[in-house]
Structure 1
Amino acid sequence: MKIDTHESIERSLCGEPIKIEKGCSEVRLECTENMAADSSGLIHGGFIFGLADYAAMLAVNHPNVVLGSAKTRFLSPSRIGDVLTAKAKDTTPEEHKHLVQVEVFCNEEKVFTGSFTCIVTKKHILS
């Protein structure tokens, strides 16, 4: 399926799409040294949130989709070298408002979960 949103996103920081279907997506992110929050190798949560947000946007896959709100939970820390996979599913596909459930895994372990409210505007939000 063609990607119709977030065409300029930096994939090394937000993830590489590995599956795009109507109403769902999967995105893979390798946790690298430049994402570390401290010398222990802990990955800053903002990168994990960015991965999940990007997966939610791809599940909706509309040029004008933006994030309205998110309720998230970090379940386990991530480290340099971890490979994360975000799986997103649009549970309420409506014309303008979408509730997208996202889970992020490191191997089989769920490390993050979130509900993302995505809004499709009539025109680009900066227009």
Structure 2
Amino acid sequence: MKIETHHLIDQTLCGKALSVENGNSLVQLLTTPQMVADRQGLVHGGFIFGAADYAAMIAVNHPHVVLGASDVKFLKPVRVGETVMAKAQVKEIKGKKYWVSVSVTHHDQEVFQGMFTCFVLDKHVLE
């Protein structure tokens, strides 16, 4: 498992890569108190999205991959302390454009699903 992108990602915020292989990836995110949105312990959806985005990026696994668009659905709430798994799979490639399907689950129940449109650029987006 050699990850070619997003080397400086904060694993406490976006998850830890468990596997990366042939257009597929698996990212594990343990939700923490810093992610809480309210007194009931609801995890802010941005952290779930972040784990899904990271899974999509490493499924493409190119040094210059960027997110161009996403179509996502939040299906169930996530509570602080829960661990979620983001599973990504490259579904289609047309030139520099990649479509990556991502499903985030907690105990085999889907809490998030999305289709991410990623682009592989010739050079870093900031160059």
TM bucket (normalised to shorter chain) is over 0.9
- Aligned residue type for 1:45: G
Query: Once the 2 structures are TM-superposed, how far is the Cα of residue 93 of structure 1 from its aligned partner?
Result: 2.9
Distance 2:69 2:124 in 1: 18
Distance (Å, rounded) in 2 between the aligned partners of 1:61 and 1:112: 22
One-letter identity of the residue aligned with 2:82: D
Note the 1:27-66 alignment, pairs <5 A. 27-66=27-66
Aligned-pair identity in percent equals 50
User: Corresponding residue for 1:87?
Assistant: 87
Distance apart, 1:95 and its partner CA: 3.6
The one-letter amino acid paired with 2:75 is L
SS in 1 for 2:93: coil
Alpha-carbon offset, residue 81 of structure 1: 1.0
SS in 2 for 1:58: helix
What amino acid does structure 2 have at the position aligned with 1:126? L
Superposed CA RMSD: 0.7
Q: Does 1:72 align with 2:64?
A: no
Contact 1:56 1:102 in 2 (8 A): yes
Q: Are the aligned partners of 1:23 and 1:93 in contact in 2 as well (CA < 8 Å)?
A: no
Provide the rounded CA distance (Å) in 1 between the counterparts of 2:120 and 2:57: 10
In 2, the alpha carbon distance for the partners of 1:106 and 1:90 equals 21
Q: Which runs of 5+ in 1 are unaligned?
A: none
Ranges of 4+ aligned residues in structure 1 off by more than 6 Å: none
Aligned partner of residue 112 in structure 2, secondary structure? strand
State the TM-score, normalized to the length of structure 2: 0.98
**C-alpha separation between the residues in 2 aligned to 1:16 and 1:94?**
28
Q: Provide the rounded CA distance (Å) in 2 between the counterparts of 1:48 and 1:27.
A: 11
Residue 65 of structure 1 aligns with an amino acid whose one-letter code is: V
Aligned residues: 127
* Deviation at residue 70 of structure 1 after TM alignment: 0.2
Once the two structures are superposed, residues 82-108 of structure 1 have per-residue CA deviations (whole angstroms, 9 ceiling, x without a partner) of 100000000013441100000000011
Tell me by how many angstroms 1:22 deviates.
1.4
Matching residue of 2:17: 17
TM normalised by structure 1 equals 0.98
